[in-house]
Chain A
Amino acid sequence: MGTFTKVALIPFRSVTQSNSIYKEKTMNKILSVALIALLSACASETTKPTDAAGPPEDASLSAQDTSGSPTLNPLNDPNNILSKRSVYFDFDKYLVKDQYKSMVLSHARYLREHSSASIRLEGHADERGSREYNLALGQRRADSVQKVMTLSGTQESQIESISYGEETPRALGHHETAWAENRRADIRYQSE
């Protein structure tokens, strides 16, 4: 599995994130973003893990091993930033706003630490205008989140960005509050 997997089992913490979120963790190491990027860069040069190299790493189990609360999957733990999954966007915009970056980077790091985990980034748009253009706009939002992740060193192969456009609105109203709720990208783990 190479050096990447070994390193990845240690739960790195980025200085860009609030440590309080991880208070319950027993192994709380703080590494700089630069170090993560360096390690990830090294990792990307190692061969990709294959099934032949051993049983696929169970993302949730290995995370629980290092957690003080063994029953909670960090992805679902409401106290863990990884349980946050939605990035919201302004009208006709697809830039990831600063307020969502630490959350997106936490998922990016989780993916680096769990090389067998993969996610789908699902872009959405509000209902106004062309369905196909909104599909493309949702795609752009998902692509933007993907770019934040891959720039931090996460493998593109662990991510599929797709769009639902305006087709599956979370909020059903025809007003700005509903539209704002529907202009977003969701992070969804394939195991879910």
Chain B
Amino acid sequence: MGICLRQFFCRTFVIFLCLLGSPLHAALDIEIFGGGASQIPIAIVPFASEEKLKQSVTAVVASDLQRSGIFRLVDSGGLSPHDPRDIIYPNWQMLGTHALVVGSTRMLPNGQVEVRYSLMDVATQELLISDMETVSVKQLRAVAHRMADNIYEKLTGDVGVFSTRIAYVVKQGKKYALQVADADGFNARTAIEYTQPIISLAWSPDGTKIAYVSFENKKPVVHIQTLATGARKAIAKFKGSNSAPAWSPDGKRLAVVLSIRGGSQIFLINANGSGLKRFSRSSGIDTEPSFSPDGQSIIFTSDRGGSPQIYRMPVAGTASGVAERLTFEGDYNVSPQYRHDGKSFTFIHRSGSKFNVAVQDLETRQVQLLTDSLFDESPSFAPNGKIILYATEIGGRGILAAVSSDGRTRQRLSAQTGDIREPAWGPLPKWR
């Protein structure tokens, strides 16, 4: 895996390149394109004594906020207050920033680091956040992500996702590795490696486990792996193919796709592998289930109408429920995933020979195409519904990409070698 972080900012943030933190743990290269129409200008002053730390905190905060596409970083122009009392507001107003972050770090005798920071509204001179945390040096990136989450939440009203993790599969030669990394591509580690394909990753709602499909038994089998221990269990290993796991919101059961009764049909099964129950009943293909956040319905791909389209069916009416067709534009709409609030879903829409990420509003039925690449796959919403992570390819190589839900900002995440694919965005951490 790669060990360097490259960022190409298409706007004016080159100055922050020099602030980027230790590149030694980055597994993914991240490039950013575009930006929101009305970005919030924010200045982040390097913290007092930060230069003595191995890991810059403000560089991580700046990188997080900038990557969201919602913020525009304003150069501090040589001003360097570290305490709210030292801020001369007219100077910052002249620089055109709306928000200002100042703070300090202090090495404690026990080796821990005390991090203090404040977020100010430059126009009103109001103190929006004032916080302090004491952490080990190893946790400095995590602290920075939490700061970015708090700042993001205070200024946008939405939940930040900088402390979340993503999972994906890296194919290198004949090896397939399931990796988990921080949302910024750092701290990647391999959860399991096979010489057979791995597909269809699904995070448990509490973020402790990942369900996936592996072919190590020379056929697709659904496994659940506990991340902390590495323990794994085959929960669907029936005759035929077993695939497409999706967790119920309470984490107690999963929807899986089995061929045991002929065709590919959706079944419900408890997370311990017991209590198998048929969910869908068609003569065709029913696959790619996704639970609604309230657990009341499942959206899925079916070719029952002659072409693959997305349908919705209530969970209570298992096997007798009526499926309602949701997509009508084009003859290939697949891979649906609910947004966290259940109001819309993302999916892959084919037009001509292009496969692109789209979002459909469930109430208005309005469809928005978010990408114009060639081969997009496996879209999944960030847990705040603001970004969609998906797989795509450039020059025949698989990479991950992310697009903001308004389509304006895009990121590319690529491994330095190998194909990267099958991304899944993890849930919010417990402290949220």
Contact = CB atoms under 8 A, between A and B. Distances in A.
Interface of B: 197, 199-200, 215, 218-220, 239-241, 243-244, 257, 259, 262-264, 285, 287-288, 301, 308, 332, 334-335, 348, 350, 355, 375, 377-378, 396, 422
Contacts of A143: 259, 262-263
Contact of B288 (A133, A160, A174): A133
Interface in A126-147: 128-133, 135-137, 139-140, 143
Interface stretch (A56-64, A107-115, A163-171): A163-171
Contacts of B220: 135, 162-165
Given A120-B218, A167-B199, A132 B243 contact: yes
A140 B240 CA distance: 11
B240 A174 contact: no
Nearest to B391: A131
A136 B285 contact: yes
A130 B218 contact: no
A129 B285 CA distance: 15
B241 A162 contact: yes
Contacts of B308: 130, 133
Nearest to A135: B243
Contacts of A131: 199-200, 377-378, 422
A132 B287 contact: yes
Contacts of B285: 133, 136-137, 139-140
B200 A132 contact: yes
Contacts of A120: 218-219
The 10 closest A-B pairs by CB, nearest first: A136-B264, A167-B197, A162-B219, A130-B334, A136-B285, A136-B287, A132-B244, A130-B335, A163-B241, A132-B288
Contact of B239 (A130, A132, A160, A163): A160
Contacts of A137: 285
A132 B199 contact: yes
12 contacts: A120-B219, A129-B355, A132-B199, A132-B244, A132-B287, A133-B288, A133-B334, A136-B243, A136-B264, A163-B220, A167-B197, A167-B199
A161 interface: yes
B8 to A, nearest CB: 27
Given A131-B200, A161-B259, 4 more contacts: A130-B378, A132-B301, A137-B285, A162-B220
Contacts of B241: 135, 139, 161-163
A137 B335 CA distance: 14
Nearest to B239: A160
B138 to A, nearest CB: 36
B335 A136 contact: no
Interface string A21-52: 00000000000000000000000000000000
Contacts of B334: 129-130, 132-133
A162 B350 CA distance: 26
